Amino acid sequence: MNPLKKGYIRAYLSIPLYMIPAILAAGAGLYFYNRSSGTPVLIFAVIYSLTVILAYLVSRRKMADEIMRFATGYGTIQKEMLKGFQLPYAVLDDSGRFFWMNRAFSKFTGEDPSYKKPISTIFPDLSRETLEKTSDLPLTVRISQDDMIFDAVLSRIDFKPEKDCEPVTINGTLISVMLFDETAHEKLKAAFEDQRLVTGLIYIDNYDESIDSLEDDVKKSLIRAIIDRKIAKYFRPADAIIRKTDNDKYFLIFQQKYLPKLEENKFSLLDDVRTTKVGNDREVTLSIGIGKGARTYSQSAEYSRAAMDLALGRGGSQAVIKSRNHVYYYGVRGKEVEKTTRVKARVKAQALREMMETKDSIIVMGHQITDVDALGAAVGVYCAARELGKKCQIVLNTITSSLRPLVDKFTPEEGYPDDMFIKSERAVELVSEGTLVMVVDTNRPSYTECPQLLEKSASIVVFDHHRQGSERIENTILSYIEPYASSACELIAETLQYFSDRMQLAPQEADCIYAGILIDTNNFMTKTGVRTFEAAAYLKRSGADVTRVRKLLREDMATYKARAEVVRHAEVYRGAFALSVCKTDEVESPTIVGAQASNELLNIVGIKASFVETVYNGKIYVSARSIDEIDVQLIMERLGGGGHLNVAGAQISDASADEVKQRIKDILDAMIQEGEIKL
C-alpha cells in the first residue's frame, strides 16, 4: 500500500501542484496586458511549474519509501514494547481463544505464545459467560491460583479494518486481558488486619450472689484467684494484656489474628468458669464483650462496650463480638441468671417516675398483635401515670379474642377515659416534645405497634424481658431489659411496688397484669423464679383473683379445636422436633393459638422442641418452645427472630409456610452437625 495515494500527507504535498494553474494564469494575464512587465513573470511561472512537477515526480517514490521505513520501524518498536511489557497482556478473539500474548503473559502462564486454546483452560474463572459481560464496561475479575491473587482486567475492542488495508483473519471484536498481581498487596492487607487492635471486656455476671455470699474470707480469696488464673490462662495463647479494673470487671487487648481461634472453641472459658466450685452454691458465670474491625482505638472500645451491653441484655453467660456491621453470639446455651437483689428494680422505678414527672403525657405500646403480657404491662404503666396525674394512652391496633375480655374491663362506666386505647394513626398525631413514648414486651423497633413513634419522639423508655439482638431501639433515655424475668408484667409489677408508697391498683388492673404473668409462664410452669412468685403475690394483695382471671382467659370452641388440629397434624422430625402449621380459618387470634399449640406439643413424650407456623396478615409467625435441652433462641435467631432459651419466635414475610418449615429443618440439621444441638 502506497502511503501517498491518500490522506493528509498526499494533500499537503499536492499544494504546490494546485498552485501551478493559478501562477501560470497570472503570468499569462500580465503578459497580454503589458508584455515588457509580464514576460519575466511568465517565464518565472513556467520555470516554477516545471521545477515543481519534476521535483514531485523525482522525490515521490523516495518520500514514500522513507515514510514506509519510518512506519515499519515505528511498528516494530511498538510491537517490541508490547512484547516486552512487564504486565502480562493478551488478546482473545470473541470466543475466548488466545489470539496473541506478550512474553510476560507467556512466562506467567507457562504457555507458548502460539497457544490458541480458550483462556478458561488456564483460568477457569474466566469462562465464556464471564467474557460476555465485557460488552458494556471494562470488567475486573479477582482470581486466586497457585497461592497467587491477581486482578484480570477485561476490555472489549471493536475491530474494524480499513478498506485499503490488506486482508486480515479476525472479524468482529477482540478482548484484551491484562493481569495485575495483587498477591503482595493482599498479604500486606491481611497482615494489617491481623495486627489490628481488639479490645474486650469481661464481667462476672453474678459476683455478689456467687462470691460475696461466701462467709469464709479464705474461700472468697481462693475463688477470685481461681477465676483470675483461668482468665489469664485462657487468653495467654492470644498474647493478650489483661487488667483487672474492679473485683468483677476485666479489660483486655490483643491482636485480631488470635480472634478466630477463640471463636473456633466458642469461648470455652465461659463453661470453664462455670465449673469453679469452692463452697459456693451458685455457679459463676461470665459475660465477654469484644469489639473488632474499628477504625480507631476509641471506636474499638465503644464496640466492646456495646457488645457487653448486648451480652448483659441477653441474660449474661455469653460472649458477644461486635464489628461495624455484624454481631456474633457465643455460649448462649445456659439459662438466664436470676438476680436475687431488687435494688435495680427500685432504681429503675425511681428513674421512670422522674421522667414521667417531666412530661405532659405518656404513650405506651407493645409489639404487633398485642398479647396479654404486652397489654398487662401497658395497663401497669397507665396506673403509674395516673398516680402522677399524667395522661396515658395505650396503642392497640388489633383487639384479638384473647384480649377482648380484658379490654372490656376498661370502659368509661368503670371510670376510664374513652381514649385510653388508640390506634397508631392517632398516636402519631398526638406525639410531641412533651410526650414520653414507652415500649413494653419488645426491644425491636420493627416489632412495635407503631415504629413511627420511635422516629418522632426523643424520649423513649423500654421495659422488656426478651434477649436483645442486633436490632434494638436506639437513643433510649431509660432501658430496663432483664431476660431472667418471666414476663414484662413481672417487671412492671416490681416497678409499681417502688413507684409510689400510695400506689393502688383496681381489681381489674391487677387481674390484667396477673394474666400477663400467667400466660407467659404457661401457668407458672416455664421461666418461673422466686421474683415471679413475689410479683404474683403483690398482685394478689392488690386485688387480683385467680378464678376471675381464669374466666377471662377462657377460649371458645373454635380456638380449642384449632389448637387440637395443630397438634394432630404435627410432623416429628429426627424423632425430637415437632413441626406444624396453624390454619387461620375461623380463628380470630391465630398467633395465640400457634403459641398455645407449641406449648401443647411439648407434652408429647420424646419431643424436645416444637415449632408452630401461623400464616397471618401476609406474614408467617413462628412460635418455638422447648423444655430444657434445646435452646430455641439460637434456632430462631438464625431464622431472623429471637427470644429466650425455652420460648422464642420469629416473623417472616418473604417465604411460604413450606419454605419456612424447610428452613427450620435445615437449621436443625446444621446445628446438629456443628454440635450446637445434641440428640
Given a contact cutoff of 8 angstroms between Cβ atoms, the answer to whether 545 and 409 are in contact is no
pLDDT value, residue 80:
64
pLDDT at residue 8 in the model: 62
Collect all residues with Cβ–Cβ distance below 8 Å to 246 and sequence separation of at least 6.
none
Percent of the chain, pLDDT > 90? 30
Q: What number of residues does the chain have?
A: 679
What is the DSSP track for 117-175?
A: SBGGGT-TTS-HHHHGGGGTS-EEEEEEETTEEEEEEEEEEE----TTSPP-S--SEEE
CA-based end-to-end distance of the chain: 84
Residues 6+ apart with CB under 8 A from 286: 202, 203, 204, 205, 269, 270, 273, 316, 317
- Is residue 326 within 8 Å of 337, Cβ to Cβ? no
- 462, 481 contact by CB (below 8 A): yes
Report the mean per-residue pLDDT for the chain: 83
Considering Cα of 6, then 9, then 12, then 14, what sign does the dihedral take? Answer: negative
Residue 273 near residue 230, CB atoms below 8 Å? yes
Number of H helices, E strands in the chain: 24, 23
Report residue 668 as a C-alpha cell: 436443625
pLDDT band at 42 (very low <50, low <70, confident <90, very high): confident
The DSSP bridge partners found for residue 366 are: none
**Which is higher by pLDDT, 157 or 437?**
437
CB-based contacts of 417: which residues, under 8 Å, 6+ apart?
none
pLDDT at 171: 47
Integer Cα distance of 400 and 28 in angstroms: 115
- Helix (H) or strand (E) run with residue 620 in it: strand 619-626
Q: What are phi and psi of 481, to 5 degrees?
A: -120, 110
Residue 425 predicted with pLDDT over 60: yes
Residue-level pLDDT at 164: 45
Query: Any idea where the domains of the chain sit in the sequence?
Result: 8-83, 89-190, 195-330, 343-552, 558-674
Which letter does DSSP use for residue 402 in this model? T
Lookup result for grid cell 483461668 = 230
Given this model, what pLDDT does residue 391 score? 94
Q: Is it true that domain 343-552 has CATH number 3.90.1640.10?
A: yes
Cα 282 to Cα 216: distance, rounded to the nearest angstrom: 15
Check: pTM over 0.85? Answer yes or no. Answer: no
pLDDT, residue 559, reads 83
What are the two backbone dihedrals, phi and then psi, of residue 570, each rounded to the nearest 5 degrees? -70, 145
71: confidence class by pLDDT, cuts 50, 70, 90? low
Please tell me the predicted confidence (pLDDT) of residue 514. Answer: 95
Q: How far apart are CA 374 and CA 364, in angstroms?
A: 10
**pLDDT (0 to 100) of residue 104:** 82
As assigned by CATH, the class of the 89-190 domain is alpha beta
- The closest alpha carbon to 492, from 410, 382, 371, 400, belongs to 382
Q: Grid coordinates in use for 97? A: 481463544
- Let me know: does 96 contact 175? Beta carbons within 8 Å: yes
Backbone angles phi, psi at 651, to 5 degrees: -125, 125
Q: pLDDT per residue over 629-667, tens digit each?
A: 888 888 998 888 887 778 888 988 888 889 999 999 999
- pLDDT for the residue 449: 92
Q: What is the 3-state secondary structure (H, E, C) of 526-582?
A: CCCCHHHHHHHHHHHHCCCCHHHHHHHCCCCHHHHHHHHHHHHCCEEECCCEEEEEE
8 A C-beta contact, residue 509 and residue 489: no
Topology match between the domains 343-552 and 558-674: no
Nearby residues of 339 by Cβ (< 8 Å), 6 or more positions away? 206, 209, 482, 484, 531
Q: How far apart are CA 246 and CA 202, in angstroms?
A: 11
pLDDT above 90: residue 394: yes
Strand 286-291 vs strand 319-322: parallel, antiparallel, or unpaired?
parallel
CATH 3.40.50.1100 fits 558-674, yes or no: no
The helix or strand, by DSSP H or E, that contains position 38, with its residue range, turns out to be: helix 35-83
Compute the distance between CA of residue 256 and CA of residue 434 in angstroms, rounded to an integer. Answer: 46
pLDDT for 10 equals: 65
Better-scored residue on pLDDT, 277 or 489: 489
CA distance 58 to 13: 13
**Quick count: other Cβ atoms within 10 Å of Cβ 208?**
15
List the single range of 292-301, 336-345, 393-402, 591-600 with lowest mean pLDDT.
336-345
**CATH H superfamily, domain 195-330:** Reverse transcriptase/Diguanylate cyclase domain (3.30.70.270)
pLDDT the model gives residue 17: 72
pLDDT tens by residue, 447-462: 899 999 998 888 999 9
Give the tens place of pLDDT for each residue, 114-157: 888 888 888 887 877 777 765 655 788 888 777 788 888 888 77
Query: What DSSP state is assigned to residue 336?
Result: P
CA–CA distance, 188 with 304 (Å, rounded to integer): 26
Mean pLDDT of 187-191: 85
